[in-house]
Amino acid sequence: MLHVPLITPFDATGAVAYDALEALANEVLASGAAGIVALGTTAEPGSLSDSEKRTVVDLIAGVCVSRRAHLIVGAGVEHADATAALALVPPFVRPGEAGVIAYFDALAEASPVPLIIYHVPYRTGQPLSAAAIRRLAEIPGVVGMKYAPGGIDADTIALLADPPFQMLCGDDLFLAPMLALGAHGGILASAHIATAQFAELVSAPSRELGHRLARLSSALFAEPNPTVIKGVLHAQGRIPTPDVRLPLLPAAKSNLTLPLRESLASST
């Protein structure tokens, strides 16, 4: 399954461009995504007010309900129509594997919806062994993982050979090899661009398409996410500005040429 963690578009005044957000939600679902992540890290949630967050989630939920699509919400967000919540491994504090397991035990017990764990150790500072991930999969209410270890190592190969729960690729660049190893799909910011092709790759892995989309993903992550993605969406006329909020800065225009070219190549 393919899920797209939607950006938050802004208009020329700096306000959230809700019409553009609704259009994006409809576009990615119409193009083959199975669901949307609302207020994931790609959405710049730390820069949004509580009111903006509520409106964003309500809007995306309405689109998902009307299209019978999955709605995954960021951690700390509740919505009656949510299929699951995406919960980050505790960042910065590095509690150790036992602490991570205890944390998700408590979080899953309190959560009104199932949890998908977001494991991204190069951001959180907390590695997890294959054994620890299998222990997390035993927790009632934990149904999957957005898996973004930053590469493919022996633990990745062992996990994907016998996945303990839904393993969703979160490293866009490694989608094709992770699918080949046994991943069930992905939560991919790159899939804002060439959504239909990412959905095709998830449903029917192809070496040629995998190579093309890996090049696209590499170009889209040339600067901090989602700055290049927003620049490309703006250049395509799909959002009113390429703007982001601090601490992010807009992508350099020179970094938009390659992903625009790759997006055209991937759609042919």
| Cα–Cα dist 66/84, whole Å | 17
Burial (CB count <10 Å: 0-12, 13-18, 19+), residue 105: middle
Active site residue 146: yes
Beta carbons of 57 and 22 less than 8 angstroms apart: no
**Shortest CA distance to 54 belongs to which of 70, 37, 77?**
77
Catalytic residue among 18, 103, 122, 146: 146
> What token pair was written down for 3?
């899920």
| Cα–Cα dist 99/41, whole Å | 23
Q: Which residues of 234-252 are buried (b: 16+ CB within 10 A; e: fewer)?
A: bbeebbbbbbbeeebeebe
> What token pair was written down for 191?
């899939």
Pairing of strands 2-5, 35-38: parallel
Active site residue 103: no
Q: At what angle do helices 207-220 and 227-235 cross, to 10 degrees?
A: 100
Beta bridge partners of 144: 116, 166
Determine the 3-state secondary structure of 222 from DSSP: coil
**Shortest CA distance to 73 belongs to which of 63, 87, 62?**
87
Provide the CB-side half-sphere exposure for 182 (13 A, CA). Answer: 13
Sign of the alpha-carbon torsion through 250, 253, 258, 262: positive
Catalytic residue among 18, 53, 103, 118: 118
Q: Show which residues are catalytic.
A: 118, 146
